[in-house]
Chains A and B, each alone.
Chain A
Amino acid sequence: MSVKTEPWAPKRPATDSGLGESSGERLRRILTSRLASIVAIVIAVLWTIPTAGLFITSFRPENDIRESGWWTVFTDPNFTLETYNYVLYSDSAGGGLVKNLINTVVITIPGVLVPVAFAAMAAYALSWIDFKGRNTLYIAMFALQVVPLQMALIPLLSFFSRGLAIGDFTIMPAWELDGVDTIVQVWIAHSIFGLPLAIFLLHNFMRELPRDVMEAARIDGASHSQTFRKVVLPLMTPALASIGIFQFLWVWNDFLVGRTFAPQSAAKPLTAVLGDMAGTWGFGWVRLPAAAFIAIIVPLIVFLLLQRYFVRGLLAGSVKG
């Protein structure tokens, strides 16, 4: 569904007012504008403090974190990088997260490429190839966007671990993946769950391509596959970037899918480890800010740098599946 402005029905017949405003009116206008400024600033500050607090906390020595709040650094500054060292590289409990960070990277790259590529192909077919049942298929995929992925978790997991069989006949044997290899399941799960939104967004963008351009390619004798590669993909670069960022943020920040499909510690992505650490709030809780910040900083940078594309994707209509 896309955002659009509704035609505005004019109301309020012109009544008693003129162009000039009395001094009382002007005073009121200035006051409301002052008030508006204050409220806006208060909201902006309130929204920023939590993240800033965590950021400051992550650089404080563990004992300081245990004994006082982060705001005390303004009177008693005391910073260290030791916690970052520990959570990334230590072999002791709560450390060695660099492995999980690598897992996250390894999960994210195919977790973005595969669904975006498959969705681009499907969106092209749904927008520019004429075939029977096209609309029905599109509506079905569109509706899948809102199906909670929780609906698919239990059977999909058993599909990987037990395979698929009808009666005694095995269609697909169990995968029996172990350790790091379970990441393959996470790739596939992310690709599946990312598809509906990606198809929907890319279809929205592709439909907007000028018909003339497509027909010109056709007249020049380009086949569908050539049109797709040489005409559509280059024109779609901004749209692909925007859906790519969506999927990147989703996969990198994901907790549920990673935790379900890569339950062994060797394959767990960073967010899954963090979520479990936060849930138990064990004795290593003072190291959580540093660990969390390692996970937060990458998507935050990508997000800030590429915000324009992200917003464009949002505005093209977004309902994550």
Chain B
Amino acid sequence: MTISDLTDRFGLLAVGLAAFVVVMLALYGLAELASRRNRSRLVATVFLFPAVLFLGVGLVYPAVRTVVMSFFSDDGSAFVGFENYGWVFSNDDALQTLVNTALWIVIVPLLSTALGLVYAVLVDGRKGERVYKALVFLPMGISFVGASIIWKFIYEYDASGAQIGLLNQVLVWVGIDPVNWLLNFPFNNFLLMVVLIWIEVGFATVVLSAALKGVPTEIIEAARIDGASPSEIFWNVTVPSIRSAIVVVAVTVFIATLKLYDIVKAMTGGHHGTDVLAQNMMDQAFRLGNDGRGATMAVLLFVLVIPVVIYQVRNMRRQELEAR
């Protein structure tokens, strides 16, 4: 590393921060001017301008462009109608990608939420609850790439000699031959899912645990006095009481799973039958130069979240009404 490596980077940072301060001061000055004239519409415009500009230029316009691109050929020169979509549903690799994605978005939210709920119930009110939760919550702070590296070492396979992967070592201890896990289709898909579940269970635990604290203890006591067994209490009292929190967790994990790219890219690169939509999209667009197909994959991702968007907006509208 040389001095110029440092000055290049921190110089850029200084320039960037200075520009940011200038923009903020300018916006503040404009807002002040508009406020003095008491024109709230103008004030609102100033306050909203940066966000609306960024979202418009960086998210809305590109999203529309992507939809348009999905109807064009891979170099963007010719209109091809639904040909790219036809390819997705006829090409074997693309179909495998869709099947894998379907498995991911069902299994990961389901298991993460279920495990998080069970764990939250188990540690609720237990001595050392904070430590229990912190241990499981910890992976939330680790990047998907970091988690992939962690788990790649666990799945590591050595054809001859001592195993350095924990999973294979456990097999050896038990007396079974080690397995080359990540090449083992279709099981390798589940091993990749484990990584995301490992991360998301902590999220589920924390949110659901907070929701559990909101369930009045009298209700649980009453059920217990009525002679309900722990499992009855769990299913008939606990779960219904925190239903909305469970839905929030499942939906959030669902969206994270759908957009998942890093883990598949870092662990298998989408090879050996483990490709998913978001990883295939990047492959098509940036490695293979197939912009049309890449855009099509992105549109499919969007189509899959539309129900969630509608659900969320309706949910929010209802809450707004209740709050009024």
Q: Which residues of chain A have a CB within 8 Å of any CB of chain B?
A: 1-6, 8-12, 14-19, 32, 36-37, 39-40, 43-44, 47-51, 53-54, 57, 65-71, 89, 96, 98-99, 102-103, 106, 109-110, 113-114, 117-119, 121-122, 124-126, 129-132, 134, 137, 139, 141-156, 159, 179-181, 183-184, 187-189, 191-193, 195-196, 199, 223-226, 228-229, 249, 252-256, 260, 271, 274-275, 278-279, 281, 288-289, 292, 295-296, 299-300, 302-304, 307, 311, 314-315, 317-320
Taking a contact as CB atoms under 8 Å apart, the answer to whether A195 and B55 are in contact is yes
A111: min CB distance to chain B, Å = 10
Given contacts A39-B122, A180-B12, contact A311 B206 (CB under 8 A): yes
A319–B252 alpha-carbon span in the complex (Å): 5
| B278 beta carbon closer than 8 Å to chain A | yes
| B177 beta carbon closer than 8 Å to chain A | no
Taking a contact as CB atoms under 8 Å apart, the answer to whether A98 and B1 are in contact is yes
| B28 beta carbon closer than 8 Å to chain A | yes
A-B CB contact pairs (8 Å), 21 listed: A1-B316, A3-B210, A5-B214, A19-B225, A39-B118, A43-B136, A57-B153, A110-B20, A139-B313, A143-B313, A147-B59, A147-B305, A179-B8, A193-B58, A223-B32, A249-B141, A255-B261, A278-B145, A289-B149, A292-B145, A319-B255
Taking a contact as CB atoms under 8 Å apart, the answer to whether B60 and A144 are in contact is yes
Taking a contact as CB atoms under 8 Å apart, the answer to whether B266 and A17 are in contact is no
> Across the two chains, which residue of chain A brings its CB closest to B43?
A224
Candidates A9, A44, A184; contact of B16 at CB < 8 Å: A184
Taking a contact as CB atoms under 8 Å apart, the answer to whether A36 and B136 are in contact is no
Taking each of B51, B148, B237, B248, which has the highest tally of chain A beta carbons within 10 Å of its own beta carbon? B51
Residues of B within 8 Å of A254, CB to CB, are 143
| B275 beta carbon closer than 8 Å to chain A | no
A249–B282 alpha-carbon span in the complex (Å): 22
**SS of B interface (majority):** helix
Taking each of A39, A130, A307, which has the highest tally of chain B beta carbons within 10 Å of its own beta carbon? A307
Given contacts A148-B305, A255-B265, contact A307 B134 (CB under 8 A): yes
Q: Which residues of chain B have a CB within 8 Å of any CB of chain A?
A: 1, 5-6, 8-10, 12-13, 16-17, 20, 24, 27-28, 31-32, 35-36, 40-41, 43-44, 47-48, 50-52, 54-55, 57-63, 65-66, 69, 115, 118-119, 122-123, 126, 132, 134-146, 148-154, 161-166, 169, 198, 201-203, 206-207, 210-211, 214-216, 219, 222-223, 225-228, 230, 236-237, 240-245, 248, 251-252, 255-256, 258-259, 261-262, 265-267, 269, 278, 281-282, 285-286, 291, 294-295, 297-299, 301-302, 305, 308-309, 312-313, 315-317, 319
Residues of B within 8 Å of A53, CB to CB, are 150, 153-154, 166
A303–B8 alpha-carbon span in the complex (Å): 29
B133: min CB distance to chain A, Å = 9
Residues of B within 8 Å of A9, CB to CB, are 240
Given contacts A54-B150, A192-B54, contact A6 B145 (CB under 8 A): no
A264–B15 alpha-carbon span in the complex (Å): 21
Taking a contact as CB atoms under 8 Å apart, the answer to whether B35 and A1 are in contact is no
Candidates A51, A125, A154, A279; contact of B298 at CB < 8 Å: A154
Q: Tell me the total A-B contact number using a CB cutoff of 8 A.
A: 385
> Across the two chains, which residue of chain A brings its CB closest to B270?
A279
> Across the two chains, which residue of chain A brings its CB closest to B212?
A5
Taking each of B27, B63, B146, B230, which has the highest tally of chain A beta carbons within 10 Å of its own beta carbon? B146
Taking a contact as CB atoms under 8 Å apart, the answer to whether A51 and B13 are in contact is no
Top-7 shortest CB links A-B: A223-B35, A303-B141, A253-B143, A192-B58, A17-B227, A155-B62, A125-B47
Taking a contact as CB atoms under 8 Å apart, the answer to whether A151 and B58 are in contact is no
A14: min CB distance to chain B, Å = 6
Taking a contact as CB atoms under 8 Å apart, the answer to whether A253 and B151 are in contact is no
A138: min CB distance to chain B, Å = 9
A69–B171 alpha-carbon span in the complex (Å): 13
Taking a contact as CB atoms under 8 Å apart, the answer to whether B259 and A150 are in contact is yes
> Across the two chains, which residue of chain A brings its CB closest to B269?
A279
Residues of B within 8 Å of A153, CB to CB, are 62, 282, 285, 298
> Across the two chains, which residue of chain A brings its CB closest to B37?
A223
Taking a contact as CB atoms under 8 Å apart, the answer to whether B55 and A196 are in contact is yes
Taking a contact as CB atoms under 8 Å apart, the answer to whether A307 and B227 are in contact is no
Taking each of A114, A256, A278, A315, which has the highest tally of chain B beta carbons within 10 Å of its own beta carbon? A278
Given contacts A224-B43, A225-B43, contact A122 B51 (CB under 8 A): yes
Residues of A within 8 Å of B210, CB to CB, are 3, 311, 315
Residues of B within 8 Å of A51, CB to CB, are 138-139, 142, 150
A16–B226 alpha-carbon span in the complex (Å): 7
Taking a contact as CB atoms under 8 Å apart, the answer to whether A131 and B28 are in contact is no
Residues of A within 8 Å of B143, CB to CB, are 252-255, 271, 295-296, 299
Taking a contact as CB atoms under 8 Å apart, the answer to whether B54 and A195 are in contact is yes
Residues of A within 8 Å of B319, CB to CB, are 1-2
Candidates B20, B137, B166, B312; contact of A71 at CB < 8 Å: B166
A318–B100 alpha-carbon span in the complex (Å): 26
A75: min CB distance to chain B, Å = 13
> Across the two chains, which residue of chain B brings its CB closest to A139?
B313
B130: min CB distance to chain A, Å = 9
In addition to A150-B281, A226-B32, A279-B269, 12 A-B residue pairs with Cβ atoms within 8 Å of each other are A3-B245, A4-B214, A6-B240, A96-B1, A129-B44, A146-B255, A147-B302, A151-B62, A151-B299, A223-B43, A254-B143, A271-B143
Taking a contact as CB atoms under 8 Å apart, the answer to whether A225 and B28 are in contact is yes
Residues of A within 8 Å of B312, CB to CB, are 1, 142-143, 145-146, 319
Taking a contact as CB atoms under 8 Å apart, the answer to whether B226 and A146 are in contact is no
Taking a contact as CB atoms under 8 Å apart, the answer to whether B20 and A299 are in contact is no
Residues of B within 8 Å of A3, CB to CB, are 207, 210-211, 244-245, 248
